[in-house]
Amino acid sequence: MYLDGIGTYKKGVESMVRQGRQRIWVAVRVERGFIVEVKAFATKKSAQGQEQRWRSAMNPDYDETGICDVVAPRRRTC
């Protein structure tokens, strides 16, 4: 799970996915330098949609938003 640049993973992450882990997409909203909201999504398209909604209402001089992918353990059910 080592990053090789923005949004890309080195070889080996795919095997982690096969070993019971899943890739999730995380959208982060920053206002005036402070993280104010973080949301996780199952698909990149959903995360990009949230990012676009945030960008439509933010101040581009002071605020920022971005998405990244994370490999996480699959959720267990009882």
Q: What percent of the chain has pLDDT over 70?
A: 71
Nearest Cα neighbor of 17 from 76, 72, 75 is 72
pLDDT at 53 over 80: yes
**Domain locations along the chain:** 13-73
Name which residue leads in pLDDT, 11 or 48. 48
3-class DSSP state for residue 39? strand
pLDDT, average across residues 41-57: 95
Question: For residues 63 and 65, what is the distance between their CA atoms, to the nearest angstrom?
Answer: 7
Quick check: pTM over 0.85? no
pLDDT at position 18 is 62
pLDDT 10s digits, 5-22:
455 555 555 665 566 788
Question: For residues 64 and 27, what is the distance between their CA atoms, to the nearest angstrom?
Answer: 11
Q: In this structure, are residues 65 and 30 in contact, taking their beta carbons and an 8 Å threshold? A: yes
Question: For residues 31 and 20, what is the distance between their CA atoms, to the nearest angstrom?
Answer: 35
pLDDT 10s digits, 55-67:
999 998 999 999 9
